[in-house]
């Protein structure tokens, strides 16, 4: 059973809680172990109960692994292999190795 935000606000008020809707496009939670939890199309509610703020978030959830390479690495691979940044990033994600990514991209473009 899904409650709409207005019903939830009314119930929260009856319990002595203050609840408000937060307009958000995306919520990203950075994990201590690395990577992120990304929530697209979020419905975010901020709840204050006895001076303590908490957030309730629902939406389309996906996990994203932390990349082991930097934007500078992507730039270098793109430049050395003569490809776009998106191609370089894609192959870097696949190989997780700068030299291997450059060789693979050069090989693919010389065919």
What is the model's pLDDT at position 82?
Answer: 92
What is the model's pLDDT at position 31?
Answer: 87
Domain ranges in the chain are: 5-64, 71-109
Q: Which CATH superfamily is domain 5-64 in?
A: Nascent polypeptide-associated complex domain (2.20.70.30)
What is the model's pLDDT at position 80?
Answer: 92
- Listed as ranges, residues in the chain with pLDDT below 70 are 1-3, 110-111
- The whole model's pTM is what? 0.55
Query: Cα separation of 59 and 39, whole Å?
Result: 6
Q: Contact 36/29 with Cβ under 8 angstroms? A: yes
**Conformation bin of residue 43: beta by default, left when phi > 0, alpha when psi is -120 to 50:** beta
């Amino acid at each position: 059973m899904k409650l709409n935000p207005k019903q939830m606000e009314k119930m929260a008020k009856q319990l002595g809680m203050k609840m408000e809707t937060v307009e958000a496009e995306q919520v990203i939670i950075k994990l201590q172990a690395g990577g992120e939890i990304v929530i697209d199309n979020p419905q975010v509610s901020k709840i204050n109960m006895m001076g303590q703020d908490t957030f309730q978030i629902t939406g389309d959830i996906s996990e994203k692994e932390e990349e082991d390479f930097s934007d500078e690495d992507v730039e270098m691979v793109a430049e050395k292999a003569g490809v776009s940044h998106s191609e370089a990033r894609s192959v870097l994600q696949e190989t997780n190795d700068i030299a291997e990514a450059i060789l693979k991209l050069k090989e693919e473009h010389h065919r």
